[in-house]
Structures are given as C-alpha cells and as structure tokens.
Structure 1
Amino acid sequence: MIETFEAILINLGIGYKLLFILITIVLGFLISKLILFFMNRMLKKASDKLNVDPTNYSFLKNAVSFLIFIVTVIIIFYSIPELKSVGMSLMASAGIFAAILGFASQQAFSNIISGIFIVIFKPFRVGDFIKIGELHLGTVEDITLRHTVINNPENRRIIIPNSVISSETILNSSITDPKICAFIEIGISYHSNIDKAIEIIQNKASHHPNFHDNRTDEEKSGNIDQVIVRVINLGDSCITLRAYVWAENSSKAFEMKCDLFKSIKEQFDKDGIEIPFPHQTVYLRQEEPLKITQI
C-alpha cells in the first residue's frame, strides 16, 4: 500500500513537471507572438516611411523568436533539478560555440545593428539624394539590415555596409527641403566692368529653365533681385564673383550649374569681360660660343 502511494506521488511529480514544461512552452509561444505583433506594426510604419519592403526585416523577427525560444529552454532546464545538470553541460558547450560564432560574425551583427538604427532614426529614406563621406553620392535605392544601395550619377550601384554609413558624415539633400542653392563662382580681371559682369550672370541664371525663384513675397515686393551676386574675394589676379542660384533639386542644380558656366563664358567673350588665367614667362639663356685661340 505504501509503495503504491509513493508511486502515485512520483507519478504526480512527473505530471507536475510535464505540466510545467507545457505551460512554459505555451507562455513562450504567446509572448513570442505578442512581441512579433508589436514589432510588425513598428516595422510596417518604418517601412512605409522609408519605402522599404517589410520582408527585409524578416531576419530580425526570426532572431527575436529564436531568442525567446532559447530563454524558454533555459527556464525549463533550470526549474527541473533532473535537467539542471544536463542543462549546465549543454550551456557550457553552447557558450563556447556562441563565443566562436559571435567573434566570426561580429561585422555582420554590426551591420544589422546599424541597419536598425537607420530604420529608427531615419537619416535618409529611399529616393533621397545623399553624399556619404567625401567619396560616394547618389540616390538611395534600397535599405536592408545589412547594406544600403545607392545609384550614383553614373548609373552605377554602390553597395555600402550599414556599419560604414553609421561611421561617416551623411549629407542629405532631400530629407526636409529638396531645393538647392547652387554657388556659381567666376573670377574676372581687375580692369573688367564688375556691374556688367554681374548683370550678365543674373540674366543668364534667371532665364535658365531649371532656375527656381526662391524669393519670399516681401522680397518680391521689395524688388530684390532674383539672383544675388556678391564680390567674395579680391585675389592676386582676379575679382571673384559668387552667384546664389536656386533649383528645385540636386540634379537640376548640377545641370543648371554646368550650363551657366558655358553660357556666361560665351557672353563674357562677346562683351569683353576677361576671365584671367595664370601666365608664365620663359626666358631662354643663350650661351656665347667658345673662342679658340691658336698659338
């Protein structure tokens, strides 16, 4: 009779442990689904703002599910004495493996974390024209957790790891206001007519098809010039003029700037406005022929 009662208690203990394992697994599953639900909503909003495919973040969601599964297994092994010793051995082996794996994939995780920061802080979006550091510029085509794809003016795709972008200075020409003020700097000689040169620059700039009148209503009523031209330097050989010319975006500003350099130079030639350039004077020394004296 006593042996039967002890057997019942043992069976009840086993049943309790099985019930605990089942409840822990169910709770882990529910918590995982709840976290993924909120993550999907957050990433959906971020994807809409960045114009990115939400499936790009599937790795992050899978990683969270895997992490919750690991935590659930650890709780089960540490809560049941019979499994604790086995769990300690497995965790020791897993710890060594995780250290090796973490060291080998350090750069990959760095790119993923940087990609998450780009999604959260949004320094740029798909379609923005950006410049990264001093080398790369172009239009953002895609943002993933590992890298960002940029289409440069040569129509070549530049794939930059997110960790590299996070450590560089980003110049974003589209994040708030896409309008660009292009600086047109031209040097004229000291004997040229400054007022005539300014008039030519203003006329050519204001009639360019890409020119954007950025004046306020008060400036228009006050007859402020559409194109402001200032003398910014009196150099050794030239007077430097700078025109502030507005365009709707970076690409139009670049095209307009190139066209204006050509048209202004041509008009300067017609009106006698000289653009100075360096001169060098070369003196050739001529040696006198040697005189031979006969004795």
Structure 2
Amino acid sequence: MSSRAVEAVITAAVGLAVVFGVRWAVGLAFARYERRLGLRDPAEAARRRTTFSFLRRVIVALVAVIALWSLLSLFPQTDQIVNAILASSALIALFVGLAFSTPLSNLGSGMLVAFAQPLRLGDRVTVGDHTGFVEELDLLYTTLVTDEARRVFIPNSQLTTTTIVNRTIRDPRRVVSAEFPLRLGAPVDEARETVLRAVATVEGLRHDEARVLVGDVKDGAVWLTTTVSAPLDADVIQLGSDLREAVLDALGEAGSLAA
C-alpha cells in the first residue's frame, strides 16, 4: 500500500472519529443545557429542544463535509476538482441559487422552522391533510406520527409555504366528542346528568372538563353533544369508542334514547 493510500486511510479514520466525537459532544452539551433550562422554564426548554436538535444535525453535517473535503484533497486528481470548485464563482452562485429551491431549500426552511418554531418536537400539528405528533425535525424532512401510527415525511420547504395548525402550543389537550339522540319529551337535565355519570366511568378522560350541550332537533330526536378533553398523548379513537359505549348504555338503561 502506497504512503498516499495509508495517509488517506488515516485521514478517513480521523475524520470519522471527529464526526462522531463532535456529534457526541454537541449532543451532551445541548442535553445538559436543556436540563438546566428545564428547571427554570419548562416551556422555554421545549422550544429550545427543537432548535438544538436541528442545529446538532447541521453542525455534524458541516464537520462531515470538511472531513470529506480533506480526504479528497490528498489525491492530485480530486484535489484539482476541489480547487476548481473553490475557484468557480459560477458554481458557487449555482449553489446559492439551489438554496432557494429543492433540495437545499429544505435545509434553509428547516433552519427557519427551528428558530421561528411554528411547531416543536412533540407538538400535535396539522400540515395539509396530515395530523400527528412531530417526532423529528431532520435536515430535509419533518416526521409526523399519526393516530394510526403511520409516519408522514413532510419536506421542510412545505412548512414555510403552507398553513400549520398547532394544537399544542397554547392548549396541550385533545378533545373527544360524540352526539347522542335523546327522545322527544325526555327530561334534558336528567339526560345530561346521566351522560356526565357515564363519562366519569371512562378512564383516560378529564371528567371535570366534560360538557353536554343540546345540539340539533331533527329526525324525531334531540341530539346531545358531549365534549370532554383528554391528555395530549391519549388514544382519542379508543376513548371515543369507550365514551359512546358508556353513554349509550347509560341512556338506554334510563329509557332516554330515541327509537
């Protein structure tokens, strides 16, 4: 093996060690700062977690590019290419132009989102037709986990050009609602109490925040709308099913259900 090849192997090994070392050190520093910040201001720590996660990826990517650049500079053929790239103002201008289109626009958009924070890691958001929890903000994509446990990968560039509905920042709760037909002539107050007692039997709901309102009067029935909140990480599909089952059984036993 030639001396140049040995030098290349050593450079590659050192480069990999530096990349992993920087990744570990930056992650450790951010984690310690986040813990200290969380003791003072948990809300601020939640915001910074998203920014730190994205910045760590950017820093590691830059270090990896520098390591690769150093490796390519060892060989005359690739060194000429590297020098040509550095000397080519036209190519640099091309890269600047690409920063405002795909795929590099995803990197720039991700940085904007990380600092502006219309969404944060762990937030429940709606982007376009997709609703879920923000699992990861990567260099190119943001990952949402839906209620069906599907992962949706959204290009970061879309986050700066579309409407984002954040359901967490101001009110970290989820809402479970259902409608029930009450027969005409049945006492509404008694039916409301029956519904509230049934809601109290469903685990996972915030029973003290339950509301029962009179909705439409149609199809020979008075429709009661029941709304109750649940924790952010609740399985609202299962809770909705449990809520309907409990209330229907209770209203049926009370003889209040419409035929």
Bin for the TM-score computed over the shorter chain? 0.5 to 0.7
Structure-2 change in CA distance of 1:227 and 1:111 (3 Å): same
| 2:189 aligned residue (187, 192, 195) | 195
Structure-2 change in CA distance of 1:110 and 1:53 (3 Å): closer
Largest Rg, 1 or 2: 1
Show the counterpart of 2:138.
Answer: 144
| Structure 1 contact 129–250 (Cα < 8 Å) conserved | no
- Measured in 1, the distance between the counterparts of 2:236 and 2:148 equals 17
Structure-2 change in CA distance of 1:159 and 1:238 (3 Å): same
Mapping for residues 11-26 of structure 1, pairs under 5 Å: none
Structure 2 residue runs of 5 or longer lacking an equivalent are: 1-25, 34-44, 67-85
CA offsets 1:203-239 (integer angstroms, 9 cap, x no match): 111232212255xxxxxxxxxxx63311132235432
The amino acid of 1:211's aligned partner reads L
| 1:110 aligned residue (75, 100, 105) | 105
Q: What root-mean-square deviation, in Å, do the aligned CA atoms of Structure 1 and Structure 2 show?
A: 3.7
- Measured in 1, the distance between the counterparts of 2:131 and 2:90 equals 43
- Measured in 1, the distance between the counterparts of 2:203 and 2:154 equals 35
Tell me by how many angstroms 1:267 deviates.
2.4
Structure 1 residue runs of 5 or longer lacking an equivalent are: 1-39, 66-89, 215-225, 277-295
Structure-2 change in CA distance of 1:151 and 1:187 (3 Å): same
Tell me by how many angstroms 1:146 deviates.
1.2
Q: What is the DSSP-based 3-state SS (H/G/I as helix, E as strand, rest coil) of the residue aligned with 1:159?
A: strand
Identity of aligned residues (%): 24
Show the counterpart of 1:251.
Answer: 234
Structure-2 change in CA distance of 1:98 and 1:59 (3 Å): farther
| 1:242 aligned residue (221, 225, 228) | 225
Mapping for residues 38-49 of structure 1, pairs under 5 Å: 48-49=48-49
Structure-2 change in CA distance of 1:165 and 1:101 (3 Å): closer
Mapping for residues 1-295 of structure 1, pairs under 5 Å: 48-50=48-50, 52=53, 54-58=55-59, 94-95=89-90, 98-99=93-94, 102=97, 106-133=101-128, 135-214=129-208, 227-275=210-258
| Structure 2 contact 204–230 (Cα < 8 Å) conserved | yes
- Measured in 2, the distance between the counterparts of 1:272 and 1:120 equals 57
Q: If each structure's strand is expressed as a fraction of its own residues, which one has the higher value?
A: 2
- Measured in 2, the distance between the counterparts of 1:231 and 1:243 equals 9
Report the number of matched residues: 199
Show the counterpart of 2:36.
Answer: none
